[in-house]
Amino acid sequence: MATLTINGKKHTIEADSSMPLLWAIRDIVGLTGTKFGCGKGLCGACSVLLDGVSVRSCLTPVSAAEGKIIVTIEGVENENKVLQEVWDELNVAQCGYCQSGQIISATALLASNANPSSEDIDTAMSGNICRCGTYPRIKSAILKTAELNQNSK
């Protein structure tokens, strides 16, 4: 038995405490926006926010997530809705599969650095692979969101 707080909702689940959070979220809680890409912390497709930090849920055991605030792509609209809108507006996604993880990492970046440089973005986003090659638009979307957030302040 484990209790997880995901997107503001508590879920009590039957799962081995060593089960990676990724599979608990996908197969037991049933939120499928978080994706499996490598299972080894190499691609970032499984990224979720754990107390605001972008972590690889494929390597995070359920036990390490208990008592923490988990945000998945389904809950990003409460964190940074503008980012999602800009993502859509700039047509960032190609196949879309890596994009949940990309948006989670970008959300974490913008929460800790409201005005990231191109190099800051490289550093924060290089753990997220996009095999379709959407990197140029991901960078544009992050820069544009930062700009919009600055202007609205």
Partner 1 sequence: MNNIHLITRRSFIRNLGLASGGLIIACTVPSNSSKDKQKLRAFNGSTFEPNLFIQLKDNGALILVASRSEMGNGVRTSLTSVIADEMEADWTMVTVKQAPGDAKYMDQNTDGSRSVRTLFEPMRKMGATAKAMLIAAAAKKWDVDASTLTAKNHYIINPVTKDKLFYGDLVADAATMPVPENPPLKDPKDFNFIGSDLKSVDGKGFASGKPKYGMDIKLEGMKYVAIARCPVTFGTFTSYNKEEAIRVRGVEQVIEIPKINRPFGALGGVAVVATNTWAAIQGRDALKVEWDNGANESYSTDEYTKMIVDNVHKKGKEVQNIGNVNRAFTNADQVVESTFVMPHLVHAPMEVPNATADVRSDGTCEVWAPTQDPQTARTEVATFLGVDLAKVTINVTFLGGGFGRKSKPDFIIEAVAASKAINAPAQVVWTREDDIRHSYYHAVSAQYMKGALDKDGNVTGWLHRVAYPSITSTFAPDTGYAAGFEFGMGMTNQPYLLENILCENAKAPAHVRIGWYRSVINIIQGFSINVFVDELAVKAKKDPLEFRLNLLGPDRIVESPDGYNFDSAKLKHVLTTAAKNAGYGKPLPEGHAIGLAMHYSFLSYVASAVEVSVNNGKLKVHKITSVIDCGTAVNTSTIEAQMQGAAIFGMSLTMYGKITTKDGVIEQSNYHDYQVVRMNETPEIDVEIIKSTAKPTGVGEPGVPPIAPAIINGIFHATGKRYHSLPLKDHGLV
**Which residues bind to partner 1, rule: CB under 8 A?**
15-16, 19-20, 23, 26-28, 30, 32-40, 42-43, 45, 72-74, 76-77, 84-85, 87-89, 91-100, 103, 121-123, 125-139
Decide if residue 61 touches ligand FES (CB under 6 A): no
**Phi, psi at 47, each rounded to 5°:** -60, 135
For 62-79, give the DSSP string: HHHHTTSEEE-GGGTHHH
71 bridge partner residues: 49
Site string for ligand FES, 74-113 (x = CB under 6 A): -------------------xxxxxxx--------------
**Nearest one of 57, 59, 81 to 4, comparing CA atoms:** 57
Is residue 132 a contact point for ligand FES (CB under 6 A)? yes
SS3 46: coil
Instruction: Find which of partner 1, ligand FES, none residue 114 binds, CB within 5 to 8 Å per kind.
Output: none
Is residue 135 at the binding interface for ligand FES, with CB under 6 A as the rule? no
Residue reference for tokens 């609209």: 77
Let me know: does 51 contact 69? Beta carbons within 8 Å.
yes
List of residues contacting ligand FES (CB under 6 A): 36-39, 41-46, 56, 58, 93-99, 130-132, 134
